[in-house]
Amino acid sequence: MAARKRAQDLPLAACKQQIRRSGERHVAALILARGGSKGIPLKNIKTLAGVPLISWALRAAGDSAMFHSVWVSTDHDEIEKVAKSWGAKVHRRSPEVSRDTSTSLETIQEFVRLNPEVDVICNIQATSPCLHPFHVKEALEMITLQGYDSVFSVVRRHQFRWQEVKKRYGELTKPLNLDPANRPRRQDWNGELCENGSFYFTTRDLIMKEGLLQGGKVGYYEMLPEYSVDIDVDIDWPVAEQRVLRYGYFGLVALEVVRLMFCNVSGCLTEGRIFLSISGKEMVSINTRDTVGIRMLQKEEVEVVLLMSSEDPMTQLVNQLSERTGCKIIQVGEEPLNVLKAIVEQRKLEWKDVAYMGSDKADVNCLSLAGLSAVPGNAPRVAINAAKYTCHAVGGMGAVREFAEHILLQREKAKSQKKQDRIDLKSVHIERF
């Protein structure tokens, strides 16, 4: 047995700087995302904890800095759009490997044939959203530094298994991994290692010459149970969402502290509707839940700046709005970035220290740049694709409060991570079998 120290004993930014590429070998991440899911239609791009499901895997792969290329293999136009919006290349798979009966191996073999430069493939499952960069970094090093031909992820389970029997009279079951007369206590039993489906690293030669994803010198990478989340049917979704919010990887900004938030008034703080009175006056409504969310951020020393366009009816109520929220209000044009980049520079911040909430196409550049960004649940697709978080609530109905809570959650996770950096976590054991 061999033991190695986990990558978590250093901050993620430091790990990223120390990552060693694999020399001349081209390492590619490949996520298989067929459009014809039977259990959950278009499951791979259904929103989970604010972003499309596939985005969790893409974010972890990209931030690991271990891959020369990151790919999504798909047969669906919408999945292709989401993949490209997250910076991935797209392998448009053929109809021959897009059938219900097609195997992962067949799809990967097609990808490898069409991309002869690839030497090592990491097949990451889109349905495992709690993957972190340190997982793929440590697993890949087993191939590049320790000479394994294939490595796959496992989780330790403590479950007693019994043989299945047909529903016929007199047929008896029997235990498969225990002695009923001497049932072990959990603390006295190491459990069993089970594939959790999160990822499979394999060399090109193993795939093309032997037709295997697991073979040669085989090793496993053990992931802790909290990271072993899989989504198969609808009932898995709400449970997975809660697990992701607690254990998911939200990007490098999760280790930083947001100090400034920009928020559009129209479409975010308000619902976008204008009320006309008999006297001809224009009125808008603001949800008190959202103003409380702003105060929550201010209490944690996050500066909140509200944005208005020259056509916004709220421009007549700037003083009242500023007094109610305690926020500075500035006017922006068709491209908010032109105004906001100067403000960020004046405060000697970087965009990773900034949160941005927008609601439309004009916000796309800022949504993409900001360390944390969000849109209300009723935002158009072009804005949703650019944001890092999509609220369940719609504009003017608690979306700002929801994003405020999300920001504060990331701050708590950052604090926890800094504490964890000083702890030598449980070693990961690997062995050849």
**Catalytic residue numbers, as ranges:** 183
**Cα 203 to Cα 40: distance, rounded to the nearest angstrom:** 31
The β-bridge relationship of strands 120-124 and 192-203 is antiparallel
DSSP secondary structure, 53-98, as one string: HHHHHHHHHHHHT--SEEEEEES-HHHHHHHHHTT-EEEE--GGGS
**Which residue in 88, 82, 86, 126 sits closest to 104, CA to CA?**
126
What single-letter DSSP state applies at residue 277?
A: -
- Burial of 131: CB neighbours in 10 Å, binned 0-12, 13-18, 19+: buried
The one-letter amino acid at 85: S
Q: Return the ∠ at Cα 75 (arms to 72 and 78), rounded to 5°.
A: 80
- Eight-state DSSP code of residue 103: -
- In terms of Cβ atoms closer than 10 Å to its own Cβ (0-12, 13-18, 19+), residue 408 is middle
